[in-house]
Structure 1
Amino acid sequence: MARARNIKPALFKNEVLGVADPMATLLFIGLWTLADRRGILEDRPLRIKAEVFPYREGIDADGLLAWLDENDFIERYSVDGIACIQINNFEKHQNPHKNEDPSSLPDTAGNYTGPQKASAGMTAELTASFESFWKCYPRKTAKDNARKAFAKVNPSAELMAEIMDSLSKHCASQGWLKDGGQFIPHAATWLNGKRWTDEVKAAANVHAFPGAARHTGFADRDYSAGLIVREDGTNGF
């Protein structure tokens, strides 16, 4: 969505832009209107060309962007697979409206400040916790949505333990086991609904997590209890 921006008289006296292709100046101004409140926009040359020069033919938007990048008017970069453009000194010269939507794109350092901060900007510790959760969750569908939901919960160590304990019980519940598990909700739905707080009735003769062994504890048993040790070292009654 295009936004209203300020143009200062000094722009027309810029010695670099003043001798460059006038289309570069027009594109530079156009980028301001496409950028979010931090001066960031997606680096999509074809879309940018359609927004800034909808009626002009023969415009090399990618080439003009490369020139602006080479001359330090913008910075082209990629974070989390998202190609972005940062307009240099944007916040110094622009004053976005207070009701303008927050930025949803990462800056050059990979930092998020908007609604994606919680999901895309997850710490290594939170990411590891999510992977532990995801490994045990029986329905492996829509992992990205699950990651975002998990990031919003942002569980402490205590809450993580509570979530995993509840997940274990849910995995052993009749509701999740019947009909091949078709009633197991998506992980994002389970997390967003705080379903770990539900009371769960376990089904009989099942294990907590899929793939867990049915018979455990053999290595811990004392098989010599009650037997007599013979002289040859064997046991007997």
Structure 2
Amino acid sequence: MRTRYIKPGFFKDDKLCELPPLARILFEGLWCLADREGRLEYRPKRIKIEILPYDDCNVEELLGLLESEFIYRYSVDGIEYVQIRNFTKHQRPHPNEEGICPAPEQIVNNHDSIVNNHERVILNRDSGYSYSYSKSISNNNKEEGKKKEEVKRKEEEEEKRKEESGFLEDFEDWWEDYPNKQGKERAKQHYITWRRKGKTPEELKQALRRYLAVKRKQKSETYSNGSTFLNPLPRGDSANINDYLEATPETMTESERMEMLDEMEKHRQFLESMNPEEKRRYYEAKGKHFKRFDGGDRLCEGGGKERGAGGEELLQSPL
């Protein structure tokens, strides 16, 4: 059973209102049994168990009441199916939901069409002519569907190949800077995994810069195997890229450190340009606290006391 929509207009439908209540409930239940195309097997006993298990009724008769206006039956390879009319017009199945039942050889949209014994007969009231088509039409449609699926699969494979080609170019650029050249093939696959997870070439390159900066500070020339370093799943105590994707005081490069100090200096100058009242409002907005002491108004973080020479001095919040 699947979740389906029901619209307010259902309850005021002038054709449905002519049917007994159980037939209306059965019609709604068929939506939940049907696949994404509005199709299900014609198995009255199973349908009754699923939709009307507690009601004493003849489901075959109720289904017969729904035929022509709301559903129609068709047969494929000796198995009978039900197609709900206008199902895809009123329902929005989940994108991942699959169609299970085979399509009828003809989609019937009006009373002028009949599906019978694997042949398609279309009656035209205006002209009085009839046209009969063999089952080969259905087979041709199936073949055409397979060809479309094959074309789509090849297009997706080509897109994937182009994407991987770009990833490999970026990897070679990254690998050129990595000191330990062991494990290149597995490192290449790990690099592609990181790219598919959304990491950019610059992010992966910056992580490598941080790792090399740490090694320089340690005055160490021992580097992890390239495959081990790039492995998305760290192993043991070996250095791993996960530890360097974000800048920390321990891993940041000299340029990142200088950039941080520059920001701190700008912030300090910004605070010095404020008068005490502006600072008070600024820190209050950041959740700090002002307290009055003998020396004047002081900003105290966490409620602590701070004394100084001037009553207008403020503690600067740490960056």
TM above 0.5, yes or no, is no
Larger Rg: 2
TM-score, length basis structure 2: 0.33
Q: Which has the higher contact order (CA 8 A, sep 6+)?
A: 1
TM-score, length basis structure 1: 0.44
